[in-house]
Structure 1
Amino acid sequence: MLITKTRVLLASLTATMAVVFSASSAIAAEEVHAVIIVGAGMSGISAANKLSKAGIENILILEATNRIGGRIQKTNFAGLSVEIGASWVEGVGGPRLNPIWDMVNRLKLTTFYSNYDNISSNAYKQKGGLYEKSEAQKAFYAAQELSELIKNVSKYLKAHRQDDISILASQRLKNQVPSTPLDMAIDYIAYDYEFSEPPRVTSLKNSIPLHTFSKFGEDAYFVADSKGYESVVYFVAKQFLTTNESGEITDPRLLLNKVVNEISYSKNGVTVQTEDGSVYRAEYIMVSASIGVLQSGLINFKPDLPPWKILAMYQFDMAVYTKIFLKFPDKFWPTGNGTEFFFYAHEKRGYYTIWQQLEEEYPGANVLLVTVTDDESRRIEQQPDSDTKAEIMGVLRAMFGMNISEATDILVPRWWSDKFYRGSYSNWPIGVSRLEYDRIRAPVGRVYFTGEHTSEYFNGYVHGAYLAGVDSAKMLIRCVKHGDCCYSIPPKGS
C-alpha cells in the first residue's frame, strides 16, 4: 500500500514538473527578437550598432567564444601583449579617412608606421648571408616594373569587360614568371603577404589595384598596445550595449559561449538552436560567421540554403595568415633605421620568407615575428611547436650564423584549425565574378549575411568587416522599416 501511494505521489510530482517545464519552454518560445546576430566580431557588432541606431533595439547577439572581437585578438606572449589576428591598420594617408584609423586615433592606441622601403638591403640567401645590395635592388626594380604592367592588364580587362585571369596568368602574359629564390621571395612579399594566397589562385581584376590603397591610402600602421586592437570592436559595441561602472559589457542582449549549430527559417521567422540546447526565435537573422565557417558546415540551415547561394559561398576562398612570435635572450639581428623588415629567399616559396624585428614596438624584448601563409600555415598548424621552432632556428642560423642563441619562447596561432574561424580572412580567387560575389552577400528570405567577405570593395580587412556590417544592416533596415526586402543581383557582365 505504501509503495502504491509512493508511486501515485511520484507520478503526480512528475506530471506537475512536466507542466512547469512545459510552461517555461512556452514562455521562452514566445520571446521573439527582431533580429538575432550570429557572431560578435567586428562585422556582427558593427551591424548590431547600425540596427540599434535605426531604432531596431530588440536584438540578440550570440557569440560562440567567451569574448567579442572575432579575428581581432590579443594574447599574452612572454609578458607582452601581442596581436595573433589582425595587426595592421592598412589604408592610411589617402583621400578618404579609414574608419578604423579614426577609431584607433580616438582610442589613442599605440601604432607604428611600417616602412618597407629599405627591405631590399635586408635580403638573405638560402645559404651564405646577405645578397649584394645591387643584386637585390635590381630584382626589386624588375618586380616593380612587372607590377605596373600587371596593373595595366587588369585595367584593360575591366575596361573591355574581359574575363578575369589570375595574377600568375598576367605574369605569364608578360613572360616574367618569378623562378629564382630571390624573385620568388619578392613576389611572395608583393602578393602572398597581402592576400595570404599565391598569384596562381588570386583574381587579377578584383585584387589589382586594391581599393583599400586607392581609397584610403597606401600607408600601414602596426598596432602594439596593451589595450589591444580589439579595443576598436569594444568602441563600437559600447555605443549601443550597456556597461557597468568598470566599463565591462553587461548587456543581456550579448550572450557569450553560444555556439549556433542550426538555423531554421521560413517566411514567418527564424529559429536558432545552440550546442547547449537553447532555442531562440526572431523575425530576422544576421549571420556574421566567416566564409570558412559557412563552408565547413558548422551551422546547419533548415531548409538548406539554395544552390545558387551554396555554390557562390563555396567558390570563395578563406585564406590562412600566421604570425609566429619568437623571443630570444639577446639580439643577433640588425636593429635601427631601415632594419625592421627583412626576408629569406628559399627555393621553397613561402618558407619563413618575411620577418619583422619588433625592437621599436617592444623595446628590449628581443622579439621577432615571422609570417607564413596558405599551405605553409596549414602544415605548421599540424605539427608540434617544437618542430616549427627547430625549422625556424635552422632558417635563422642560415641568415645569421650557427652561434646565435636559441629562442626561449614561441607562439604559433592556429586560425585554420579553429572551428569558429577556419582561417584568417577571405581572398578573392580566380573564377568568382561580381555576380557570384553579389550572391555571397545576398540574403535568403529572412536570413541576412555579413562579414569581411561580404564587403563590396574591402574584403580581407578590418575596415572591410566594419563597413560590411554597416552595409548589411542597411539592407535589413530597408526591409524591416520600409518593406523593401528585395535584393537585386545585376546580371553577369554588367
Structure 2
Amino acid sequence: MESKESNCTDTINGPFVSQIERQQLPAPSVIVIGGGISGIAAARTLCDASCKVVLLESRNRLGGRVHTDYSFGFPVDMGASCCALFDMDGRQVPQQLVIQVGDTCARILKETEKVRDEHSHDMSLLEAISIVLERNPEFRQEGLAHEVLQWYICRMEAWFAADADMISLKSWDQEHVLLGGHGLMVEGYYPVLNSLAKGLDICLNHRVTRIAQWCNGVIVSVEGGRSFVADAAIVTVPLGVLKANLIEFEPKLPEWKITAISDLGVGNENKIALCFDTVFWPNVELLGIVAPTSYACGYFLNLHKATGHPVLVYMAAGRFAYDIEKLSDEAAANFAMLQLKKMLPDSKEPIQYLVSRWGTDPDSLGSYSYDLVGKPIDLYEKLRTPVDNLFFAGEAVSMDHPASVHGAYSTGVAAAEDCRRWILKQCGNLDLIQLVSRGEKTEAEIPLRISRI
C-alpha cells in the first residue's frame, strides 16, 4: 500500500488556527486515528462522501491487528482468521468420543443459561459450568472424556481470548454470530485492506500522542511534534491502547467514557505458524491435543486444507498466550513442535516459523475485547458514543459483533456516518457532502477467495 505521507498537508506548528483559515478549507475535514480495518472503513466512507480525510497509523503498515505476513512466500494471516484429537501419549481420540463429548459440552453450556436466570449477580462462566456439573452428575466426564471436555473449553476460551474464569456468564453468549459457517481468506486480508485504502491520504509511522478539542475542531499531535487539524476525528485505536492511556485527551474524556474503557476486558490470542517442506499430517481442519486442564490443551489450525500451503498454526489464548510471549521466537516454535510431536511423533522439523505477540505489541496491547465478570452490559454502547466531535470505532465498540473483523468494519462505517451527520449539523450545508449509497458498487469492491474449512 503506497503511503501518501507527502500529501499530509493539514499540519500546524502552533496551537491555533484562525477561523478564516478554517473557512477556506475546500471540504469538511476529518482525522481518522488508526489504520486497522475499522479506521480504513471510516476513512473510505468519508472520502467517498467528499470529506477531506487524513488517516494516521502508528505502524509502518496498514491493517492493525489484521496482519498478513508473506515471509513464507505466500500469505499467512497472523491476526484475525472437523478435527482430529490426540492424547498426551500421541494416541488419537476415537472420533465417536469427540462427537459425544462435544454434544455434552453443548448441553452444559446450554444449562448455564438456567444458572444465569437464577442469580441476580454475575459470575464467571467457569463457576457456572461447575454449578451445572454439580447439579447434573451425568454431564461429568472421567479419564480421556474429561480431557476432551477440557479441550472444548480451551477452544471456547480461544473465542474470547481469555480464560473461562475471566469471562462473564451474563454476556458470554450475547454476540450475534453471522451465518455461513467458518471461512478462511485464501489470499489473506491484505487484498481487502489495499482495495479499501486505494486513494486515501495515509500517514504511516505517525503515532498519535495527544488529541485536543478546541472551538469546533480538533488538533491531533503525533510523536516528533507534528500536529494535524480538522473539524472532527474518529478514534479507532485498539482498546488496549486506550486502557494504557497512551493517548492524552484534552480536555480529559468524561468519566462515563473512562469507566467504559476500564470495565471492558481485553483478551490475548497468539499464533505460532510453522511452515514445512511437505505435508505429513491428516487432512482435517484442526489437530488438537487433550489434557486434564484447558490450559494444557492445545490445537493447530491446518492451513493446507484451506490454502494448499504446508503450514500448521498453533493457537494460544488467554494467560497461555501471555506466557508464550515470554519466550523467544525460536523457543516458542520449539514449544509448538513439542506439542505437535506428542500427536505425531514422526513430525518433520519446520523450515520457517512466525510468532505473533499481540499482548505486548505497543500498538495493540491485546487481541480483542470480551466482557469481564460483574461489569455493566452497556459498555459497548458507551464506548461507541461520541464525545462532541470525537467519534469512536473498532471491534470493542461493536454491540452485535465484538472481537471480529466484520464488527470492526461495520463500526468504522457507522462512526463515519455519525461524523458526517455532526458536520452537516454544524455547517448546515447539505451540498457539501454526498454520502455514497451502501447499495452502490464502488471501486473498493473486489472478488474474494474464501475457503470453507
* TM-score of Structure 1 vs Structure 2, range by shorter chain: 0.7 to 0.9
Could you tell me which residue of structure 2 aligns to residue 203 of structure 1?
A: 168
Could you tell me which residue of structure 1 aligns to residue 299 of structure 2?
A: 354
Distance in 1, matches of 2:59 and 2:301, equals: 30
Aligned residue identity for 2:154: Y
Q: Give the 3 Å change call, closer, same or farther, for CA 351–78 of structure 1 in structure 2.
A: farther
Q: How does 1:428-439 map to 2 (within 5 A)?
A: 428-439=371-382
Q: Is the Cα contact below 8 Å between 1:292 and 1:422 reproduced in 2?
A: yes
Matched, 1:67 2:32: no
Distance in 1, matches of 2:13 and 2:366, equals: 37
Aligned residue identity for 1:237: A
SS of aligned partner of 2:75: strand
Matched, 1:444 2:387: yes
Could you tell me which residue of structure 2 aligns to residue 230 of structure 1?
A: 190
Q: How does 1:278-427 map to 2 (within 5 A)?
A: 278-335=226-283, 339-351=284-296, 353-363=298-308, 365-401=309-345, 403-427=346-370
Distance in 2, matches of 1:456 and 1:205, equals: 14
Q: Give the 3 Å change call, closer, same or farther, for CA 461–351 of structure 1 in structure 2.
A: same
Q: Is the Cα contact below 8 Å between 1:344 and 1:353 reproduced in 2?
A: yes
Could you tell me which residue of structure 1 aligns to residue 137 of structure 2?
A: none
Q: How does 1:238-277 map to 2 (within 5 A)?
A: 238=198, 242=199, 251=200, 253-277=201-225
Q: Is the Cα contact below 8 Å between 1:324 and 1:410 reproduced in 2?
A: yes
Q: Give the 3 Å change call, closer, same or farther, for CA 34–458 of structure 1 in structure 2.
A: same
Could you tell me which residue of structure 2 aligns to residue 453 of structure 1?
A: 396
Distance in 2, matches of 1:152 and 1:193, equals: 24
Instruction: For residues 33-72 of structure 1, give each alpha carbon's deviation from its aligned partner in whole angstroms, at most 9, with x where no partner exists.
Output: 63211112111122223333444x1222111122222222
Distance in 1, matches of 2:15 and 2:249, equals: 25
Distance in 1, matches of 2:79 and 2:273, equals: 12
Q: Give the 3 Å change call, closer, same or farther, for CA 435–78 of structure 1 in structure 2.
A: closer
Q: Give the 3 Å change call, closer, same or farther, for CA 386–67 of structure 1 in structure 2.
A: closer
Distance in 2, matches of 1:453 and 1:387, equals: 32
Could you tell me which residue of structure 2 aligns to residue 479 of structure 1?
A: 422
153, 167, 179: which is aligned to 1:187?
153
Q: Is the Cα contact below 8 Å between 1:351 and 1:372 reproduced in 2?
A: no
SS of aligned partner of 2:365: coil
Distance in 2, matches of 1:282 and 1:255, equals: 15
Instruction: For residues 109-152 of structure 1, give each alpha carbon's deviation from its aligned partner in whole angstroms, at most 9, with x where no partner exists.
Output: xxxxxxx3xx3xx2211124112334333322211221332356
Displacement after TM superposition at 1:467 (Å): 0.9
SS of aligned partner of 2:288: strand
Aligned residue identity for 2:239: I
Distance in 2, matches of 1:385 and 1:66, equals: 21
SS of aligned partner of 1:281: strand
Q: Is the Cα contact below 8 Å between 1:326 and 1:409 reproduced in 2?
A: yes
Instruction: For residues 143-183 of structure 1, give each alpha carbon's deviation from its aligned partner in whole angstroms, at most 9, with x where no partner exists.
Output: 122133235656x48xx9x5544322332331268894322
Displacement after TM superposition at 1:430 (Å): 2.3
Q: Give the 3 Å change call, closer, same or farther, for CA 307–361 of structure 1 in structure 2.
A: same
Could you tell me which residue of structure 2 aligns to residue 5 of structure 1?
A: none
Displacement after TM superposition at 1:452 (Å): 1.1
Q: Is the Cα contact below 8 Å between 1:262 and 1:299 reproduced in 2?
A: yes
Displacement after TM superposition at 1:261 (Å): 0.7
Could you tell me which residue of structure 1 aligns to residue 3 of structure 2?
A: none
Distance in 2, matches of 1:182 and 1:455, equals: 32
Aligned residue identity for 1:175: L
Identical positions, percent:
27
Distance in 2, matches of 1:359 and 1:27, equals: 54
Structure 1 window deviating more from structure 2 (175-184 vs 36-45): it is 175-184
SS of aligned partner of 2:332: helix
Displacement after TM superposition at 1:292 (Å): 0.6
Q: Which runs of 4+ in 1 moved over 4 A?
A: 24-33, 151-154, 176-179
Displacement after TM superposition at 1:80 (Å): 2.2
Q: Give the 3 Å change call, closer, same or farther, for CA 59–178 of structure 1 in structure 2.
A: farther
Q: How does 1:19-30 map to 2 (within 5 A)?
A: 25=13, 29=17
Q: How does 1:51-130 map to 2 (within 5 A)?
A: 51-55=46-50, 57-87=51-81, 116=82, 119=83, 122-130=84-92
Distance in 2, matches of 1:149 and 1:478, equals: 45
Aligned residue identity for 1:140: G
Q: Is the Cα contact below 8 Å between 1:151 and 1:209 reproduced in 2?
A: no
Q: Give the 3 Å change call, closer, same or farther, for CA 167–448 of structure 1 in structure 2.
A: same
Instruction: For residues 215-266 of structure 1, give each alpha carbon's deviation from its aligned partner in whole angstroms, at most 9, with x where no partner exists.
Output: x3150101121xx31222333333xxx3xxxxxxxx4x32221111111224
Could you tell me which residue of structure 2 aligns to residue 221 of structure 1?
A: 183
Could you tell me which residue of structure 2 aligns to residue 167 of structure 1?
A: 125
SS of aligned partner of 2:171: coil
Instruction: For residues 312-354 of structure 1, give each alpha carbon's deviation from its aligned partner in whole angstroms, at most 9, with x where no partner exists.
Output: 101111211212111234433223xxx2212101234234612
Q: How does 1:40-55 map to 2 (within 5 A)?
A: 40-55=35-50
Distance in 1, matches of 2:15 and 2:314, equals: 53
Q: Is the Cα contact below 8 Å between 1:126 and 1:347 reproduced in 2?
A: no
Task: State the superposition RMSD in angstroms.
Answer: 2.7
Q: Give the 3 Å change call, closer, same or farther, for CA 28–268 of structure 1 in structure 2.
A: closer
**Which runs of 5 or more structure 1 residues have no equivalent in the other structure?**
1-23, 88-115, 243-250, 485-494
Q: Is the Cα contact below 8 Å between 1:267 and 1:446 reproduced in 2?
A: no
**Aligned residues, how many?**
401
**Which runs of 5 or more structure 2 residues have no equivalent in the other structure?**
1-11, 23-27, 135-139, 428-453
Displacement after TM superposition at 1:273 (Å): 1.0
Q: Give the 3 Å change call, closer, same or farther, for CA 461–286 of structure 1 in structure 2.
A: same
Aligned residue identity for 1:347: P
Distance in 1, matches of 2:85 and 2:278, equals: 22
TM-score under structure 2 length normalisation:
0.81
Distance in 1, matches of 2:176 and 2:248, equals: 34
SS of aligned partner of 1:139: helix
SS of aligned partner of 1:51: helix
- Bigger CA radius of gyration: 1
Aligned residue identity for 2:323: R
Q: Is the Cα contact below 8 Å between 1:355 and 1:368 reproduced in 2?
A: yes
Instruction: For residues 422-459 of structure 1, give each alpha carbon's deviation from its aligned partner in whole angstroms, at most 9, with x where no partner exists.
Output: 12221222233233332212222332211111112111
Displacement after TM superposition at 1:362 (Å): 4.0
